[in-house]
Amino acid sequence: MDITHEVFNQPEPLVNYNLFDTNRPLRAALKFNAPKLDTAELTELGATLGSAGMQTHARLANTHTPELHSHDRFGRRMDQVEFHPGYHELMKLATSAGLHGTPWACASVSPHVQRAAGFMLFTELEPSVLCPISMTYAVTPALRSNAAIYADWGPKLTSRAYDPALKVWRAKPGLTMGMGMTEKQGGSDVRANTTRAEPAGHDSWGERYAITGHKWFLSAPMCDAFLVLAQAQGGLSCFFLPRVLPDGSLNAIQIQRLKDKLGNKANASSEVEFQGAHAWLVGDEGRGVPQILAMGSMTRLDCALGTSGLMRQALSIALHHTAQRKAFGKRLIDQPLMRNVLADLALESEAATALALRLARTFDQATDAHEAAMARLLTPIAKFWICKRGSHFAQEAMECLGGNGYVEEGGEGIMARIYREMPVNSIWEGAGNIMALDLLRALRKADAVAALAQELAAAKGAHPALDRLAAALPGRAENMTSQASDTSELEARRLAQDVALAVQAALLYQTAPGAVFGAFCDSRLAGNWGQAFGTLASGTDFNSIIARAMPH
């Protein structure tokens, strides 16, 4: 019998490997930003995340997407979302790893950096379940503005237990929280919100209100509670709104439908109506926007971390595939032009990792004046630049696999999932224009330009192109922030890009080998580069850059 369908020259899947141990750029960034950090937990997490079993849970959670059950079979409203068991396994792993509220009650020397590294690693496995994890991280400190609620909920928001059941908070070992800010008529302009809050009494949690209105995006509607914005008598205010009320009854939250999104499939995002739902004031009336801005800095950190993790996974898959697949007589990874593409992707990935972890460090050193200034600067530029590069990066990495990268099945199907996921971090939590404008606002602070200059000083003299950019940025920043708003806003994206590139280059000088730093500056800063990945100069040390990025 003739064999006509022998399968050969098909790469083995990238599975059963340690995501942390094999990620040299991440470990270098950790050593720089948290030199005393014990990484044993990250090593253990990296092994679990790379296992075949967890990859199966991720695949199934995306294949069998959440389903809304608005009513039971008798016609009573239930407003519950059903998830595949794989989703709950992923949530259990994320909470047990402390990726949610744990840093706020952690004894680690660098809890936010440690959590950031774990968040990036988890993103390589499955990013969309991290939406409720990220929101729990962001809202936990905001609850301190209501001491009574924080006393009851705080310990369970930082617990490493996961309980998906819909029941009263005191009966659960661990809790998660979401946020509901945007409305259909406003989007990022939350001051246009029309949802209203009317006084409804006072109890042990403080001032209680009845919330009536809607939210156009309420992600993770099966969280135990949400922070929402509504118009009170004193103006736009922040409220704590639980799914289950203290007496055990369901709150008046009606889930209208789940969003049918491009990606982020395992996560349920919903539209909801509040029909006089009970909520409690967090902070002061009229101070809702400052509360949101404080939480937004944390979710924006996670957008940068998430995209960096997705970049790393896409790069790892591309490297793994091209190291095995042969074409035209030799492995793809040995083809000169493919080496250029892979090295270019490796530079982008390592630069993203360096910038995202540097931003995380500012949360661990929030009382330091320089770090506080850098947090204001780095949050918008990291969110803007890293997330903007994500979709282009994923498309190029997918192309390294050819047609295999475009399919939705098997190990290489992860690449298609990554590509669909990439735009969300750029859009959610403030899109590109919002981030560029936030940078302008940050630069108007008295200490901002000096902090940027101090940050770049560590790499002074290391590369002529970086020196030129670092010397020009303070003047550009001061000139733009002194101009009329329309004029400065027109160039805000370009400034955000250049600040991001300068900071990335300075960080790579301190954390990466000379081959990586030199190639990054030559291409991104000196202009010896084209309009697409794979256009590095022929004199680049491709061997060293690719070897550093290999996942095995």
Each residue of 198-242: pLDDT tens digit?
999 999 999 999 999 999 999 899 999 999 999 999 999 999 999
CA 60 to chain centre: 22
Mean pLDDT in residue range 493-508: 98
> Domain 290-549 adopts which CATH fold?
Butyryl-CoA Dehydrogenase, subunit A; domain 3 (1.20.140)
The HSE-up count of residue 103 (CA atoms within 13 Å, CB side) is 25
Instruction: Give tens-digit pLDDT for 128-164.
Output: 999 999 999 999 999 999 999 999 999 999 999 999 9
CB 117 within 8 A of CB 273: no
Confidence of residue 473 (pLDDT cuts 50, 70, 90): very high
CATH class of 169-287: mainly beta
pLDDT at 532: 95
288-322 and 130-139 are packed helices; what angle lies between their axes, rounded to 10 degrees? 140
pLDDT at 167: 95
Whether 436 shows a pLDDT value over 70: the answer reads yes
Confidence of residue 552 (pLDDT cuts 50, 70, 90): confident
Mean pLDDT in residue range 344-358: 98
Confidence of residue 413 (pLDDT cuts 50, 70, 90): confident
Confidence of residue 1 (pLDDT cuts 50, 70, 90): low
What residue type is assigned to position 199 of the chain?
P
Instruction: Give tens-digit pLDDT for 71-103.
Output: 999 999 999 999 999 999 999 999 999 999 989
Confidence of residue 251 (pLDDT cuts 50, 70, 90): very high
% of the chain beyond a pLDDT of 90 = 86
Mean pLDDT in residue range 189-196: 88
CB 411 within 8 A of CB 418: no
pLDDT at 187: 77
238 has which bridge partners?
A: 229
Average pLDDT, whole number, for the chain?
94
Candidate from 100-109, 117-126, 207-216, 483-492 with smallest mean pLDDT: 483-492
Q: Report domain extents, the chain.
A: 24-68+81-157, 169-287, 290-549
71 has which bridge partners?
A: 77
pLDDT at 191: 84
Confidence of residue 492 (pLDDT cuts 50, 70, 90): very high
What residue type is assigned to position 177 of the chain?
M
Give dist(CA 290, CA 22) in Å, integer. 40
Q: What pTM was computed for the model?
A: 0.96
